[in-house]
Structure 1
Amino acid sequence: MAASDEVTGDRDPRIDQLAGRRVLVTGGSGFIGSHLTAALVDVGAETHVLSSAVSSVYPHRLTALRSAITLHEGNLTDRTALRAVVRDARPEVVYHLGAYTHVGKSWSRIDECIQTNVQGTVNLLEALDGTGYTRFVNTGTSEIYGAIDIPFHEDDRPAPVSPYAVSKHAAEEFCRLGSTARGWPIVRVRPFNAYGPGQSPDRIIPEVIVRALRGDRLQLTQGRQTREFNHVDDLVEGFLLLGVVEGLEGQLCNLGCGQEVSIQQLVRTILAVMGDPVEAEFGALPDRPIEIWRMYCDATRAQDLLGWRPRLTLEEGLARTIDWYRSELELPTSPFVPGFARGT
Structure 2
Amino acid sequence: MHHPSDLSALAGSTVLVTGGAGLIGSRITARLRALDARAVALCTMNAYPEHVYADLFGVHASDPDVVLGDIRNTALVRKLVAESDYVIHAAALADVAACTREPLAAIYTNIAGTQSVLDAVVATDRIRRMVFVSSASVYGDGDPEETDSPELLTMRRLLESVHGRIPPQFDEFTRLRPVSVYGNSKAWGEQQTALILGQVGTSYAIVRYFSVYGEPQTIKPNSHSWVVAWFAARAHLGLPLRLNGGGRQVRDMVHVDDIAEGTLRALVSPRAHTSTVNIGTGIPTTVRKVAELIREHYPRTAFLATPLPAGDPLGGYAAIRRMENLLGWKPKITVAQGVARYVEWLRNTPAAAPGWLRESTAA
Question: When the two structures are superposed, what TM-score results if normalisation uses the length of structure 2?
Answer: 0.82
Shift in Å, 1:152? 0.8
- What does residue 143 of structure 1 align with? 137
Percent of residue pairs identical:
28
Shift in Å, 1:194? 0.8
- What does residue 170 of structure 2 align with? 152
Shift in Å, 1:247? 3.6
SS at match of 2:42: strand
Pairing 1:204–2:204 present: no
- What does residue 75 of structure 2 align with? 80
1:196–1:231 CA contact under 8 A, matched in 2: yes
- What does residue 193 of structure 1 align with? 211
From 235, 249, 255, give the equivalent of 2:279. Answer: 255
- What does residue 20 of structure 2 align with? 28
Pairing 1:319–2:312 present: no
Q: Which amino acid aligns with 1:233?
A: D
SS at match of 1:310: coil
Name the CA distance, whole Å, in 2 between partners of 1:164 and 1:215.
32
Name the CA distance, whole Å, in 2 between partners of 1:299 and 1:95.
21
Structure 2: stretches of 5+ with no match in the other structure:
145-167, 221-225
Q: Which amino acid aligns with 2:68?
A: E
Name the CA distance, whole Å, in 2 between partners of 1:287 and 1:227.
15
- What does residue 163 of structure 1 align with? 181
Shift in Å, 1:229? 0.5
- Number of aligned positions between the proteins: 323
1:138–1:187 CA contact under 8 A, matched in 2: yes
Shift in Å, 1:147? 2.0
Shift in Å, 1:340? 4.7
- What does residue 113 of structure 1 align with? 106
- What does residue 244 of structure 1 align with? 268
From 9, 13, 38, give the equivalent of 1:17. Answer: 9
- What does residue 8 of structure 1 align with? none
Assess, with a 3 A threshold, how the Cα gap between structure 1 residues 77 and 296 changes in structure 2: closer, same or farther.
same
Aligned CA-pair RMSD:
2.4
SS at match of 2:189: helix
- What does residue 322 of structure 2 align with? 301
- What does residue 268 of structure 1 align with? 292
Structure 1: stretches of 5+ with no match in the other structure:
1-11
Name the CA distance, whole Å, in 2 between partners of 1:69 and 1:205.
33
Shift in Å, 1:65? 6.7
Pairing 1:218–2:241 present: yes
More helix by share: 2
From 31, 34, 45, give the equivalent of 1:39. Answer: 31
SS at match of 1:324: helix
Q: Which amino acid aligns with 1:318?
A: V
Q: Which amino acid aligns with 1:270?
A: I
Name the CA distance, whole Å, in 1 between partners of 2:59 and 2:21.
12
- What does residue 125 of structure 1 align with? 118
SS at match of 2:170: coil
Pairing 1:175–2:196 present: no
2:248–2:288 CA contact under 8 A, matched in 1: yes
1:213–1:277 CA contact under 8 A, matched in 2: no
Shift in Å, 1:341? 6.1
2:207–2:277 CA contact under 8 A, matched in 1: yes
- What does residue 288 of structure 1 align with? 309
Assess, with a 3 A threshold, how the Cα gap between structure 1 residues 28 and 259 changes in structure 2: closer, same or farther.
same
Name the CA distance, whole Å, in 1 between partners of 2:5 and 2:313.
38
Farther off after superposition, 216-225 or 235-244: 216-225
Pairing 1:234–2:258 present: yes
